[in-house]
Chains A and B, each alone.
Chain A
Amino acid sequence: MFENIKKQSILYIIDDNVSVCKSLEWMFDSIGFQTKTFNSAKHFLVEFNPNQIGCALVDVRMPGMSGLELQEEIHKRNILLPIIFMTGHADSELATQCKELGAFDFLEKPIDSKKLFISIENAINYHCGLINALDPAD
């Protein structure tokens, strides 16, 4: 799975729930996909590497900076990293709002792993394409 992309890309997992973070980390580790987990949006903003290809899996509802606020911040900073939202409180209004704000995808917890993998693959390909288009020499 993800054979052609997983070596060079990274998945950022941002969720205030530690056990959800750990389980996602373990699941992606089991398929050999590199992840980095953060329990708050702020930590993520400090530590992530904007030059690496990847995508962010973000919980909508977090104390402090929420998922939507994180997305806004990422846009403000002109970062192209695609964001996939996950939430336990899916409603169509929130999903629409996320997508309008530029979310790559919106998934409901517990997450359907097939949908998640497809979404991540698409997101990373999208990010790859974007980075190559902006900087073809790279």
Chain B
Amino acid sequence: MENSVSILVVDDLPENHVAMEAILSKFHQNIIFAHSGTQALRLILQHEFAVILLDVNMPGLNGLETARIIRSREKNNYTPIIFLTCLDRDQIDINEGYSIGAVDFIFKPINPIILSSKVKVFIDLFTKSTLAFKLQEELENRKKAEIQSINQKRQLDIAELNRFTAIKELTSAISHELTQPLTSISNYITGSLHLLSNPDFLKKDSLISALEIAKNETYRAGEILHRIKNFSRKKHIFFENVVLNNLIMNIVSLLEDRIKSNNININFTLCDKLNMPVLLDKIQIEQVMINLLKNSKEALINSKTKDPTIKIETLLTKSNKIIIEIKDNGPGIDASVLNNIFDLYVTTKEKGIGIGLAICRAAIEAHRGNIIATNNLNGGAIFKITLPLKVKEEVENV
């Protein structure tokens, strides 16, 4: 009886239950009987009734008192209550009945036609209002679904926008990186053309060295593209034998011009044990060192630090971990970014793109190592790289 409505009949006499059932059964609805006001009160908590037929004269809680309590429950404010009463015997005050909230009175002995026609009205009303309620609910659900789909679309739009921003920033990073070598190449070629267009051309050596540099710049541009491609593809790591201390010294001498020109001192404390070859991805570790040293250099220049110094330390721990530490005596890292400084697009530089340290972390993690950034208690930033020691494996296929 899924779609049937419930009717509550409250009467202390079982024979009246039988009579009511006989009259109301033709509606094929769910008729529930209560023998007392108390039982009725329990039942209204469990069911929603289309109409309550309430005997006035009952022992214990009488009909009027029961009705008053039913009405006091907010959910039953409007549940139709029809009082069943013997007018002469009960001597009920009809006005009081209505003021409590009765919608009608039926007088005993009950006339089946009157009873069933009155009950029918409330069954219909309940059915219709339930239907209306369901429709409204469905409308609201639809509206909710619509809003949800709009929100989903908005989220997709945001994701799309994020992707677009990421692409834009990556493009900007690529163009910035590539502009430098391209500028050099174009300058060397322009100069070479000028030299060659001179009929008394003599500076052959100068031309050769210029073209040599231009050639190397094209390699550098290619390497930059390769690196960016690798970063976006998260390529596999390529291990080769590297003497870490030498790698660091080479990188420093590569950057020396720029560092020395700003009067920055570089101190080394390199571990002797790392003069032996270990397995590392040379290009990736070089890139990490370049990025970290450039960052330190920029921080030192921008902060106008007195006696600007970068300290590079390598160490091999007893548990076979390689430690590389780069410390500077600059302003240190702002606390607000210390926790996410390695995330993509996080930067402390005014015009930075925030890709350098993300590349560093990706490279170090590809080595199954880790990189952390902290601030020195005496000022300055510390970048600490930990790498597992890997040495050339025994000759395979023995």
A contacts, CB < 8 Å to B: 1, 16-20, 22-24, 26-31, 39-40, 43, 61, 63-64, 86, 88-89, 109-111, 113
Contact = CB atoms under 8 A, between A and B. Distances in A.
B180 interface: yes
Contacts of A61: 351
Interface of B is mostly: helix
B298 A109 contact: no
A23 B301 contact: no
Given A26-B188, A89-B172, A89-B176, A109 B182 contact: yes
A24 to B, nearest CB: 5
Contact of B175 (A23, A31, A64, A88): A88
Contact of B186 (A40, A64, A110): A110
7 pairs of A and B residues whose beta carbons are closest in the complex: A88-B179, A27-B191, A30-B191, A23-B187, A23-B184, A113-B190, A110-B186
B182 A110 contact: yes
B228 to A, nearest CB: 16
Given A40-B262, A89-B172, A23 B194 contact: no
A86 B184 CA distance: 13
B185 interface: yes
Interface string B362-383: 0000000000000000000000
B330 interface: no
A109 B177 CA distance: 11
A27 B187 contact: yes
B181 interface: yes
B5 to A, nearest CB: 71
Interface of B: 172, 175-176, 179-188, 190-192, 194-195, 203, 206, 210, 213-214, 217, 257-258, 261-262, 297-298, 301-302, 351
Given A29-B191, A110-B185, A39 B261 contact: yes
- Of the listed residues B183, B213, B297, the one surrounded by the most CB atoms of chain A closer than 10 A to its CB is B183
A113 B186 contact: yes
B261 A40 contact: yes
B184 A20 contact: yes
A39 B258 contact: yes
B302 A18 contact: no
Nearest to B180: A17
B194 A26 contact: no
A27 B261 contact: no
A111 B261 contact: no
Contacts of A43: 261
A70 B298 CA distance: 17
A17 B262 CA distance: 13
Between B179, B181, B302, the greatest number of chain A beta carbons within 10 A of the residue's beta carbon is seen for B179
A95 to B, nearest CB: 16
Contacts of B182: 109-110
A19 B301 contact: no
A22 B261 CA distance: 14
A109 B183 contact: yes
B301 A111 contact: no
Contacts of B185: 23, 110
A16 B258 contact: yes
Contacts of B172: 89
A22 B297 CA distance: 21
Contacts of B190: 27, 113
A131 B213 CA distance: 38
